[in-house]
Amino acid sequence: MIYQCVIFIVTAYLLGSIPFGKLIAKRVARINITQRGSGNIGATNVARELGITWGLVTLLLDMLKGFLPVFLYAHYIFQAGIEFETCLSAIGLSALLGHQFSIFMRFRGGKGVATAIGIYLATSPLACLMVVIVFILIVYTWDFVSLGSMLAAIVMPVLLAFFGKSQPLVTSSIIVTALICFKHKGNIKRLVKGTERKWRGEINQPNRSRSRSNSSSE
């Protein structure tokens, strides 16, 4: 099982490293998304620059990066126990690290929220649904995607522990939360200063001419 686990971990990292947002922006609009808007390759920045449709496509693809390797391993190996849960957690973390520190982007990348959702969708669908609801409520109430992303990430380990998930899964979710918050450090500073960019009204029309600025993105 160790051999299979290592293969899945490496594959998950490589899959996670594929910068779908950057590839879509290059293909659809012939732009470098890392030089537009917030400079992030995630769904939020793609939606702001190309419109909601391509933002949703990016969101789905980034989610699949986390979902597929974890789901396939769980169904391919189909075992139980701490060793299995530990490997499952490592595969999910590997996919997230691939997205956040892509080998194809000189170890830079996105913030990992969509990829984390994909991981949790494979390991704990109910908790994932609850976290998505938390995210939507926060964004609807305060209009900050970054705030919703971080608070939803913080809630996830609590929910996994509440639902009695294994220690490896809970521990890995804490690491996921720390990584997501680390990637949002710039957003945290802007939230404190009151300069963070709001979401509502910014994706009604694609903006392909916006120069790079410091703003929130997933």
Residue 69 lies in a domain: yes
Q: Is it the case that residue 124 has pLDDT exceeding 60? A: yes
Residue 218 lies in a domain: no
SS3 content of the chain, % helix, strand, coil (to 5): 70, 0, 25
Residue 179 lies in a domain: yes
Residue 208 lies in a domain: no
| pLDDT digits 0-9 by tens, 51-65 | 999 999 999 999 999
Tokens describing residue 22: 């950057």
The residue segments making up the domain with residue 87 are 2-193
Tokens describing residue 106: 């000189």
Say if residues 16 and 64 touch (Cβ distance below 8 Å): no
Q: Is it the case that residue 213 has pLDDT exceeding 80? A: no
Residue 36 lies in a domain: yes
User: What are the φ and ψ backbone dihedral angles of 211, each rounded to 5 degrees?
Assistant: -80, 160
Residue 216 lies in a domain: no
Residue 213 lies in a domain: no
- State the pLDDT at residue 3: 87
Residue 199 lies in a domain: no
- State the pLDDT at residue 193: 96
Confidence (pTM): 0.90
- State the pLDDT at residue 78: 62
Domain count, the chain: 1
- State the pLDDT at residue 201: 56
Taking the CA atoms of 126, 121, 38 and 101 in sequence, report the sign of the dihedral they define. positive
Tokens describing residue 63: 């989610």
- State the pLDDT at residue 212: 43
Per the DSSP assignment, residues forming a β-bridge with 17 are none
